[in-house]
Structure 1
Amino acid sequence: MNQILLFADLREKTGKSETELDAAGKTVKEVRNLLFQTYQLPAIQESMVAINEEFATNGTVISERDVVAFIPPVSGG
């Protein structure tokens, strides 16, 4: 299983700061699409992704027990 961390708007829309998902062997893009379909999160498509605190690309393959964080763009003033 993998811990999936959700930040900012993603956390607000789902009501969760984290969830667990069997993402081992999947790419970041596959997990992104799964979360989009499950929670209807448009912001997830533009979110930055980190795996074990290292930024990752859509093609990065997730390993067992990796921690995956989705960090949406934020604005403020």
Structure 2
Amino acid sequence: MTLRVLYFAWLRERIGLASEEVETGAETVTALIEELRAREERYALAFSDLASVRVALDQELADFDAPLSGVREVAFFPPMTGG
């Protein structure tokens, strides 16, 4: 399946992309992250501390064990803080 993957804040800075189309066989967010980490060092660095990463699937907050079936867009971003 092809997913549109979005990166925000320091994830975008570490990876060097705001978004990309990713062809994947991953069934969960965790599996997608493992595929991305294996691509090259910049992805491994960006996803080295998952406690500092949040994910949204089709603009809805999700957990890392969420299935990707039927999903078109995955967004990764740091935790949000109030102000």
TM-score band w.r.t. shorter chain: 0.7 to 0.9
Of all paired residues, the percent bearing the same amino acid is 30
In the alignment, what sits opposite 2:78? 72
Give the TM-score of the pair, scaled to structure 1. Answer: 0.78
Q: Distance in 2 between matches of 1:50 and 1:36?
A: 18
* Structure 1 unaligned regions, length at least 5: none
In the alignment, what sits opposite 2:54? 48
Q: Distance in 2 between matches of 1:67 and 1:6?
A: 11
Size of the aligned set, in residue pairs, is: 75
RMSD of aligned alpha carbons: 2.3
Structure 1 residue 24, shift from structure 2 partner: 5.7
Give the TM-score of the pair, scaled to structure 2. Answer: 0.73
* Structure 2 unaligned regions, length at least 5: none
What amino acid maps onto 1:9 in structure 2? W
